[in-house]
Amino acid sequence: MIVKAAHSLIDGVSRAGIRRLIVVGGAGILNVAPDVLLMNSPNFVEEYRPLAAVHLEAYNLYKASNLDWSFVCPAAEIFPGDRTAIFQVGADHLLINEKGESRISAEDYAIAFIDEVEQSKYIHHRMTAAY
């Protein structure tokens, strides 16, 4: 379904003459080391691997498109919590804190997403946010 949606979004946005597209993806497609995605690391939860694989396929479709896309990924752990507006933002790589954790509240993830909508700092990149 995610890949089909990606095809539809790329087609529909292109037909409408819109260049900017921002989509939500999964943390599994973020880099954790050179040429190593989180989804291919030993600690990745096996049952999430098929979902991460379709997110990767969709991400590759956006990369191949002529759109000004951003693929916004949460931290490895996203949870309901407080809105603090205090978090790190980065491109392409999983962000971790000094404890080795990659986490963010859904409320702060929403702020990071809206910041990208308004500021367009991560065009043609995966983007992520974490504490």
Structural domains in the chain, sorted by start = 2-130 (3.40.50.720)
Calculate the alpha carbon distances from 24 to 21, 43, 62, 75 in Å: 10, 23, 12, 12
Using one digit for the tens of pLDDT, what is the confidence trace for 109-124? 999 999 999 999 999 9
The answer to whether 95 touches 129, Cβ cutoff 8 Å, is yes
Q: How far apart are CA 127 and CA 107, in angstroms?
A: 16
Max Cα–Cα distance, the chain, nearest Å: 46
Supply 82's token pair.
């407080």
Confidence of residue 97 (pLDDT cuts 50, 70, 90): very high
**Residue in 90, 83, 81 with CA at minimum distance from that of residue 111:** 83
- Residue 12: pLDDT band (50, 70, 90) is very high
pLDDT in tens, 32-84: 999 999 999 998 999 999 999 999 999 999 999 999 999 999 999 999 999 99
First to last CA, the chain: 31
Band (6; pLDDT cuts 50, 70, 90): very high
